[in-house]
Structure 1
């Protein structure tokens, strides 16, 4: 097994431990045992626990982005692509080991004392909102819709994690439909209004 294979093995073990038990409660000795590597090897690849934590969060950010994009690309119309975000959440919430958003968990546990964790958690949330902004732009409505849809998604994640109810994604999906259709209706009204004003004859 080469260095990169050991590295990925450790990250995978750390991800499982941190996500199920929390970051603070898992020490390097426990991680060594779970990954099946020597403590010397572990510290060679990750000189500190913070290095492991950040590697785990970067990996989770990549998996989230790839999984979300796969769902969205499989959808048809721009409206369906926006709603596919909540289909992605629904599938995730139904996973047996779902424990909520790893970034919210990390921020809640470590954000106040670890600026690296706080920064990557904020970056993750900002990038998600930016991604929604790109999808919203495709349907030609007010950009503020992206913020509203992001808040729905974030609320669904927290609700599902605390209550254990995967149906939170379905309720968020229903609310998203209302918001999207209302935004499309407003955009259509604005467009019709502009066209009608353009057709009013002048007095000249």
Structure 2
């Protein structure tokens, strides 16, 4: 099995297991069993579990932000794109297997002990905030709205993850609408 295939298989297994069960509860042997990649090969690709977690978060970040942008950019009106973020969050919250924000979960498990994981989490959150800032700018709204919109989205993610309900997205969307109207 070539390195790219083995890496993809390991990352697919890591994503399913880490997101589904939590990072600390999953060992490299679990990744081996699910991925079909030998333990020796896993450690060649990822010298430590922390490296695998970092790669999982990095890959998930790209996919997550691509899915969000594809959904939001279906709307031509820049003012419609801001509530579309919350529409997408609501769709995501109703997906089978939704367990909250992978980065918040990872930070809660490892952020205090792993600078690699904390760095991936910060990079993801900074990129999401920058994306919201671009939507705010494109809509001709004051930059001061970016922070509150970011906090609404993040709060909705945490609350949906804890409650297992999609309603936080609708509540955050309504608050975002009020902010945009006032802005």
TM superposition score normalised by structure 2:
0.97
Write the deviation string for residues 59-109 of structure 1: whole angstroms up to 9, x where unpaired: 111011101110111012111111110111011000110000000001111
Correspondence 1:17 to 2:1? no
Corresponding residue for residue 42 of structure 1: 42
Residue 113 of structure 1 and its aligned partner are, at CA, apart by: 0.5
Secondary structure of the residue that 1:173 maps to in structure 2? helix
Structure 1: how far apart are the matches of 2:118 and 2:95? 26
Corresponding residue for residue 107 of structure 1: 107
Provide the aligned length of Structure 1 versus Structure 2. Answer: 183
Residue 2 of structure 1 and its aligned partner are, at CA, apart by: 2.4
Correspondence 1:133 to 2:107? no
Corresponding residue for residue 181 of structure 1: 181
Runs of at least 4 residues of structure 1 off by over 4 A? none
Residue 141 of structure 1 and its aligned partner are, at CA, apart by: 2.0
Corresponding residue for residue 84 of structure 2: 84
- Aligned-residue CA RMSD (Å): 1.0
Corresponding residue for residue 29 of structure 1: 29
Q: Which has the higher contact order (CA 8 A, sep 6+)?
A: 2
Structure 2: how far apart are the matches of 1:140 and 1:76? 14
Structure 1: how far apart are the matches of 2:43 and 2:117? 20
Secondary structure of the residue that 2:73 maps to in structure 1? helix
